[in-house]
Amino acid sequence: MKISRIFIEEQVKDHPRTLKILSRFSAVSVTVIRKVEDVFGRVKKPYLQKRETLNLFVGRKEGTVVKRAPDAYGLKEDPHYYFVHAYNCIYECEYCYLQGYFHSPDLVFFINHEEIGKEMVRLIEKVHPEKTVWFHAGEFSDSLALSHITDEWPFYFDLFSKFPRAKLELRTKSVNIAAIKALTPQKNILITYSLSPDILAQKYDRNTPSINSRLKAMETLASLGHPIGIHFDPIVCFDEVESAYEELIEKIVKKIPSEKIEYISLGAIRFSKQAYRAVEKNYSASDLLAADFMKSSDDKVRYPRPLRLYLLNKVRDLCLSAGIDRRKIYLCMES
């Protein structure tokens, strides 16, 4: 990751978190701006420019800082929210929806975590006083990849220690776990990893840690007492899909006992229309584009429903055969 310029909002330029971030990039030019939105994405920037250089923006997230998640986002019956603490990712997965979401691949860090936490507390105490409320990080960025720079997780671990009824999920593909290893594990804070068979990860998960590296990080965190979750998402159809997932699941349960896995989500590959057009532009030779996709009722580009259900049921059955409790398995973004 090469940061070429840093833009700091006037209102946070002297904030301790901003100064700590800047200390990591002492040789990079800094420009003070009024608002992130005045510069970020105002001129469309090619997504693949992230391979060369990125700008970094630091600011205060305003507006809705905690958003209600779509139906089928998490375990049923519970209310689910995701919170916005960063934009964009240093990894380059060919199927990533972020390439069709923002007009720029530049990184944005928001530092007003106390305000985000205050809204979380309101939702826990006032809106859902008798329910388990889930909050998910990693919707617009990887939760751990840059955590040594952003350093937000001590704040959230402390916050959720006071609200054991609530759940916090950190979604990641990163093995940058030093910040988490330094924190006391909590039953209501889950570290969840997106995994694919190695043959798929090598092909589509560009610049990400290998699957074996991710499994090692998961094993380390689980041994320390951190609850672990798994996302088999996106599931991509190919000839050896059953044997490949069987091998992956066997590796997982050898490293992490099935009773220590909090849940597994399953999701077949899907795109927004904007993301699909971006994949066509950025990865025109990708065999992802050779699939028989169709536009579904939710306006997503997906496999036909019979194929999706075949893949989801097949992987679910492999999980069950490996000893995973059926109640821990759910379908993500699928009715």
Over 90: is that where the pLDDT of 257 sits?
Answer: no
Whether pLDDT at 159 is above 80: yes
In sequence order, what DSSP letters do the residues of 271-317 get, joined into one string? E-HHHHHHHHHH-TT-GGGGS--EE-TTS-EE--HHHHHHHHHHHHH
d(CA 332, CA 315): 13
Burial of 64 (0-12, 13-18, 19+ CB in 10 A): exposed
Neighbours of 61 (CB within 10 A): 21
Confidence of residue 106 (pLDDT cuts 50, 70, 90): very high
Report the C-alpha gap between 200 and 80 in whole angstroms. Answer: 29
- DSSP annotation of 209 reads P
pLDDT digits (tens, 9 = 90+) for 22-80: 999 999 999 999 999 999 999 899 999 999 999 999 999 999 999 999 877 888 789 99
**Which residues neighbour 19 within 8 Å (Cβ) at sequence distance 6 or greater?**
none
- Return the ∠ at Cα 19 (arms to 15 and 22), rounded to 5°: 140
